[in-house]
C-alpha cells in the first residue's frame, strides 16, 4: 500500500506519548475547570490549528458532527428542558414556528456543549497527527506488553482492508440488483446483504492469519525488538511535566 | 484450509493468537458497521455487531475487551474522548451475548430474539445515564428526536433519555445481534466457537 510521507511539522514531531499526556491534560482541564473562556479559546485555537496542519478535509466530518450537536443541544434544551422556568418570559421566540427559547435551558446546553466541542476539535488534531504504528511502538517502550500493543496497532491495519472489502461487496451486491438508495425501508433492507458477507469473509480469514502469525513467531518467548526509533526531545519532557501539573491543578481546583 | 480443522484453538498458545486477531477484528467490524450505516444514511449506529460476534466466538470477556477497545478507538478517531464511556454499554452487550452462547441459547431464532431484547434493554438502562452525564441528554443523533418527544410530554431529562433509548436500541442492537446471529449460522463449525463452549451438534 502506498503511504504518504507528510512534511514533519511541530505537532508531528512530538513523541506520541507526549500527545497522550497533552490530551489527558486537556480533558481534565476542560471538564474540571469548566471555564467558558478557556473552552472557547481551546475550540478556536484547535480549529485554526487544524487549518494550519491542512486537515480541513478530514475535519469536515467531525465539524459537521459538532454542528449537529450544537444545533440539537440548543434547540431541544432551549425549548423543552425541564430546568426552564416556563412561567418567565422566553429569551426569544423563533418567528414562524413560535418556538420559545428559555435562558436556563440555553445555559444548560452551553455548559455541555463547551465541555465536548473543544475536546473534539483539539483531540482530533492531536490524534490525527500521531502515526498509529509509532504510538504502538511507544506504548510498548513505555511498558505495555507486546501483545497489547499489537492488538492496538493491528486494528488500524485491518481497517483499510475491511473498508476495501466493504466497497467491493457493495459494488458486487449493487450489480446483483441490491438497492442502496431510496426509501428508509429499502436502505434498511440493504444493510444485511452488505454486512453479512463482509464479516463472514473477515472471519474466514482468521485461521490463515493465525497460522501466518505462528510461523512468524508471534508466540515466541524471545524478547522482541522494534526497528522504529522514537525521539524524545526537551520539548517533549517540558510538555509532559506541564500536562501533569495541569492535571493535578485541575483536580485540586475541583476538590477545594 | 480443511487440513487445519483439528488445530485446537480453544486452549494453549494458539488461543492467545486467536485472541490477538479477533479483538482487533471485532473493533474493525464495529467501525465498518457504523460506516455501512452511514453510507446507507440509516439513523442508527449499528456499531455492536463485532462485539456480539467476538463475544459469541471467543466468550464474553474477550468480547467485552473488544467492545471497550472499539469505543476508545472510535473516540480517538472522532476526537470525542468522552464518548468512550459508552464502552460500558458494549461490555454489557458482550457479556449478555457471550453467556447466552455459553448456555447454548443463541442457536434458535427465538434465542436470538430474546438475546436482542435483553441487550437492547440493558443498553438503554446504561446508555441513558451516560448520555446525561456526557452530553446532558442530547447527543446530536437520531435518538434526540425521541428524547425531544418525551421531554415535550413532560418527562425529566433522565427518564426522557431512557424512554427514548428503548425504541432506538431495540432497532439498533436488535439488528446488530440479529446480524451477528446470521453470520454465526453461516460460519463453518470449526470457526463457530473457539472458546471451548458447547458446540452445536
**All domains of chain B, ordered by start, with CATH?**
10-192 (1.10.1760.20)
Percent of chain B clearing pLDDT 70 (strictly above): 89
How confident is the model at residue A243, as a pLDDT? 93
Does the pLDDT of residue A1 top 50, yes or no? Answer: no
pLDDT score at B10: 54
Top mean-pLDDT range of A220-229, B52-61, B168-177, B180-189: B52-61
Q: Where are the beta strands (DSSP E) in chain B?
A: none
Question: How confident is the model over B89-118, as a mean pLDDT?
Answer: 91
A-proximal residues of B, 32-61, CB under 8 Å = 32-33, 35-37, 39-42, 46, 49-50, 53, 57
* pLDDT number for residue A166: 93
Q: What percent of chain A stands above pLDDT 70?
A: 97
Chain B contacts in chain A segment 223-252 (CB below 8 A): none
A191 touches chain B (CB under 8 A): yes
Estimate the share of chain A in helix, then strand, then coil, as percent rounded to the nearest 5: 70, 0, 25
The distance from CA A60 to its chain's CA centroid, rounded to whole angstroms, is 13
Residue A77 has pLDDT above 70, yes or no: yes
Average pLDDT, chain A: 86
Which residue in B4, B20, B182 has the most chain A C-beta atoms within 10 A of its own C-beta, making it the best mutation to test that interface? B20
> Given this model, what pLDDT does residue B196 score?
47
CA separation for the pair B56, B60 (Å, rounded): 7
pLDDT tens figures, A4-58: 666 778 888 888 899 989 999 998 898 888 888 999 999 999 999 988 888 888 8
CA distances from A223 to A141, A147, A218, A220 (A): 12, 12, 11, 8
Assign residue A32 a region (left: φ > 0; alpha: ψ between -120 and 50; beta: otherwise): alpha
Rounded Cα distance between A128 and A145, Å, is: 24
Residue B2 in this model has a pLDDT that exceeds 50: no
pLDDT band at A2 (very low <50, low <70, confident <90, very high): low
Cα separation of A133 and A152, whole Å? 9
Nearest Cα of chain A lies from the Cα of B151 at a distance, in angstroms, of 6
CA distance A53 to B126: 38
* Winning range, highest mean pLDDT, from A39-48, B129-138, B147-156: A39-48
Average pLDDT over residues B170-194: 81
Residue listed under C-alpha cell 435562558: A103
Mean pLDDT of B128-156: 83
Reading the block at residue A125, the C-alpha cell is 488534531
Check if A187 contacts B (Cβ < 8 Å): yes
- Report ipTM (2 d.p.): 0.84
Amino acid at each position: 500500500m502506498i503511504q504518504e510521507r507528510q512534511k514533519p511539522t511541530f505537532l508531528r514531531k512530538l513523541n506520541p506519548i507526549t500527545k497522550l499526556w497533552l490530551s489527558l491534560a486537556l480533558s481534565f482541564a476542560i471538564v474540571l475547570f469548566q471555564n467558558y473562556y478557556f473552552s472557547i479559546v481551546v475550540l478556536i485555537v484547535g480549529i485554526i490549528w487544524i487549518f494550519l496542519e491542512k486537515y480541513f478535509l478530514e475535519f469536515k466530518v467531525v465539524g459537521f458532527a459538532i454542528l449537529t450537536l450544537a444545533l440539537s443541544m440548543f434547540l431541544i434544551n432551549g425549548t423543552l428542558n425541564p430546568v426552564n422556568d416556563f412561567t418567565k418570559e422566553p429569551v426569544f421566540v423563533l418567528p414562524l414556528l413560535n418556538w420559545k427559547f428559555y435562558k436556563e435551558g440555553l445555559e444548560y446546553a452551553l455548559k455541555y456543549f463547551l465541555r465536548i466541542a473543544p475536546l473534539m476539535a483539539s483531540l482530533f488534531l492531536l490524534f490525527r497527527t500521531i502515526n498509529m504504528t509509532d504510538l504502538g511502538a511507544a506504548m510498548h517502550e513505555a511498558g505495555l506488553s507486546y501483545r497489547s500493543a499489537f492488538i492496538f496497532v493491528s486494528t488500524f491495519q485491518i481497517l483499510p482492508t475491511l473498508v476495501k472489502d466493504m466497497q467491493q461487496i457493495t459494488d458486487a451486491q449493487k450489480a446483483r440488483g441490491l438497492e442502496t438508495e431510496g426509501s428508509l425501508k429499502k436502505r434498511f433492507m440493504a444493510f444485511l446483504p452488505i454486512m453479512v458477507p463482509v464479516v463472514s469473509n473477515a472471519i474466514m480469514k482468521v485461521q490463515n492469519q493465525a497460522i501466518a502469525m505462528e510461523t512468524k513467531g508471534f508466540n515466541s518467548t524471545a524478547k522482541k525488538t522494534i526497528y522504529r526509533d522514537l525521539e524524545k526531545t526537551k520539548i517533549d519532557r517540558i510538555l509532559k511535566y506541564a500536562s501533569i501539573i495541569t492535571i493535578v491543578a485541575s483536580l485540586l481546583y475541583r476538590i477545594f | 484450509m480443511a487440513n487445519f480443522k483439528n488445530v485446537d484453538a480453544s486452549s494453549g498458545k494458539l488461543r492467545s493468537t486467536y485472541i490477538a486477531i479477533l479483538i482487533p477484528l471485532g473493533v474493525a467490524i464495529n467501525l465498518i458497521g457504523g460506516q455501512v450505516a452511514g453510507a446507507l444514511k440509516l439513523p442508527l449506529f449499528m456499531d455492536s455487531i463485532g462485539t456480539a460476534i467476538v463475544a459469541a466466538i471467543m466468550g464474553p470477556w474477550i468480547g467485552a475487551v473488544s467492545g471497550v477497545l472499539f469505543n476508545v478507538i472510535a473516540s480517538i478517531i472522532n476526537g470525542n474522548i468522552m464518548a468512550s464511556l459508552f464502552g460500558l454499554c458494549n461490555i454489557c452487550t458482550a457479556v449478555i451475548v457471550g453467556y447466552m452462547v455459553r448456555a447454548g441459547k443463541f442457536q434458535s431464532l427465538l434465542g436470538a430474539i430474546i438475546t436482542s431484547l435483553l441487550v437492547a434493554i440493558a443498553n438503554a438502562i446504561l446508555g441513558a445515564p451516560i448520555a446525561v452525564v456526557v452530553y446532558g441528554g442530547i447527543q446530536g443523533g437520531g435518538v434526540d428526536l425521541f428524547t425531544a418527544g418525551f421531554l415535550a410530554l413532560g418527562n425529566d431529562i433522565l427518564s426522557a433519555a431512557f424512554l427514548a433509548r428503548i425504541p432506538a436500541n431495540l432497532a439498533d442492537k436488535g439488528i446488530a445481534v440479529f446480524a451477528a446471529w446470521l453470520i454465526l449460522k453461516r460460519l463453518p463449525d470449526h470457526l463457530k466457537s473457539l472458546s471451548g463452549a458447547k458446540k452445536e451438534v
